[in-house]
Amino acid sequence: NLIFIIISICCVLPVFLILSASFSDNTLLRQQGYSLIPRGFSVAAFEYIFKVPKAILSAYRVTITVTVIGTAGSLFLTSALAYVISRQDYYLAKVLSFLVLFAMLFNVGMVPTHITMVKIYNLKDTLFALIFPYLIVPWNVFLMKSFLRETPVALIEAAKIDGAGDFTIFMKVILPLVKPALATIGMFIALGYWNDWYNSMLFINNENLYSLQYYLYKIVNNIEAYKTILAQAGGGTSLGSTINMPSESLKMALTIIVTGPIILVYPFIQKYFVSGVTIGAVKG
């Protein structure tokens, strides 16, 4: 118990350091470093972030919408594909498994992806451009397949005897049995959508459709760019150092804003997450 208490404290301390730094005065933070108690309590970083509340609320709305819709769609398609390739009696199971494995090993690259999304599907400046790229992730398919292998074949045969079709078996028999797996992989998918900024950079020009991660990424980049330009205009770093921009505390505040909402989800699925991580590791 003592060992686990020490490990838990080591995991929690960085969170408190980040929280403390986000409420610290930027100058004192740069001069004296981090501490568990805010140095010169200040909310300047949060004031700077929420200077235009409409923009950040719009970014939150986009990210939440993409995460919810994308996670639901990806989880359904991932589990459906995994169920198909886990069925040994399906004659195309090996072919589909090879295609999924091939997609996991070889990435087509940025240019073909951009051409496909923009020129073929015409999804530029739409929320679908943020959802489609992660609908099926090969690694998640194989992870779900390992869970579905534990499903007793007798249940499927019994459902067929009762007249159930494959889709009915999948929805009413298979999915209820793999709730821990759905929660585990669903968390991985949701984190992928929540943390994504790359697709916004590639496919989104409309500021109203910026994801939260990309919007905050642009804030940090803009601050660094302003400081560099003003420092060069002043002939050195002296002018740049006088700019009243909470760059260090701002980064910590951004971390709190980005990770806070997703952390709140963990307590609700913790019981599924723990069992989901271990269920596929034991063979009957």
Q: In 3D, which of 279, 276, 84 has the Cα closest to residue 187?
A: 276
Higher pLDDT, 185 or 236: 185
Categorize the per-residue pLDDT at 249 as very low, low, confident or very high, splitting at 50, 70 and 90.
Answer: confident
Answer for the pair 252, 18: CB distance below 8 angstroms, yes or no. Answer: yes
User: How many whole angstroms separate alpha carbon 209 and alpha carbon 200?
Assistant: 8
Q: Could you read off the pLDDT of 121-133 as tens digits, one per residue?
A: 999 999 999 999 9
- The chain-wide mean pLDDT, for the chain, equals 83
Categorize the per-residue pLDDT at 271 as very low, low, confident or very high, splitting at 50, 70 and 90.
Answer: low
Q: Where are the alpha helices (DSSP H) in 162-265?
A: 166-169, 175-177, 179-194, 198-203, 212-233, 237-241, 247-263
**How many Cα atoms sit within 13 Å of 21 on the Cβ side?**
24
User: How many whole angstroms separate alpha carbon 273 and alpha carbon 72?
Assistant: 17
User: How many whole angstroms separate alpha carbon 184 and alpha carbon 73?
Assistant: 15
Cα separation of the two ends of the chain: 31
Q: Could you read off the pLDDT of 99-121 as tens digits, one per residue?
A: 999 988 888 888 888 888 989 99
What's the confidence (pLDDT) of residue 74? 95
Q: Read off the tokens for 212.
A: 């939260």
What's the confidence (pLDDT) of residue 129? 92
pTM, entire model: 0.81
Q: Could you read off the pLDDT of 47-70 as tens digits, one per residue?
A: 888 887 888 889 989 999 999 999
The label of the residue with tokens 């505390």 reads: 249
Q: Where are the alpha helices (DSSP H) in the chain?
A: 2-22, 26-32, 44-49, 53-86, 93-105, 110-115, 128-131, 138-148, 153-161, 166-169, 175-177, 179-194, 198-203, 212-233, 237-241, 247-263, 266-279
